[in-house]
Amino acid sequence: MGDLRIGVIGLGFGEYHVRTITNLPGARLAAVADTVGDRVDRIASTYGAAGFHDATAMIDSGCVDALSICVSPAYREPILRRAAAAGLPLFIEKPWAANLEQGLRFRDLVAGIPVMTGFSFRFLPAFRRLAGLVAGELGSVRLANGEYAFRFLPPNDNWLWDPSNGNGLFNENSCHLFDAVCALAGTPVAVSAAGRPYAGSPSEDGAALVVEFESGAAAALTIGGIAAPAFRSFPRLDVITERGQARLSGRSHIWESLAWATDTDTEIHQAEYPAEELGTTRYTAALSHFMESVRTGTAPETGPAEGLCSVALAEAVYLAIRGRCRVVIGRYDA
Ligand SMILES: NC(=O)c1ccc[n+]([C@@H]2O[C@H](COP(=O)([O-])OP(=O)(O)OC[C@H]3O[C@@H](n4cnc5c(N)ncnc54)[C@H](O)[C@@H]3O)[C@@H](O)[C@H]2O)c1
Q: What is the pLDDT of residues 207-236, one digit of tens each?
A: 999 999 999 999 999 999 999 999 999 999
Q: What is the pLDDT of residue 334?
A: 78
- pLDDT tens digits, one per residue of 156-206: 999 999 999 999 999 999 999 999 999 999 999 999 999 999 999 999 999
Which atom of ligand 1 is nearest to 78's Cα? 31
Closest CA to 331 of 187, 193, 212: 187
Give the helix/strand (H/E) hosting 304. Answer: helix 304-323
72 lines ligand 1 (CB under 6 A): yes
For the chain, what is the total number of helices (H) and then of strands (E)?
10, 15
70 lines ligand 1 (CB under 6 A): yes
Quote the radius of gyration of the chain (alpha carbons, Å): 20
Q: Which amino acid is at 268?
A: I
In the chain the first and final C-alpha atoms are separated, in Å, by 38
Q: What is the pLDDT of residue 244?
A: 98
In the structure, what pLDDT confidence band is assigned to residue 1 with cuts at 50, 70 and 90? low
Q: Mean pLDDT over residues 252-271, rounded?
A: 97
Q: What is the pLDDT of residue 37?
A: 86
Which atom of ligand 1 is nearest to 55's Cα? 32
What's the rounded Cα separation, in Å, for the pair 247 and 258?
6
In the structure, what pLDDT confidence band is assigned to residue 313 with cuts at 50, 70 and 90? very high
CA of 102 to the centre of ligand 1 (A): 17
Pairing of strands 66-69, 4-9: parallel
16 lines ligand 1 (CB under 6 A): no
In the structure, what pLDDT confidence band is assigned to residue 102 with cuts at 50, 70 and 90? very high
What's the rounded Cα separation, in Å, for the pair 225 and 205?
6
Whether 75 shows a pLDDT value over 90: the answer reads: yes
Residue 298: DSSP 8-state:
P
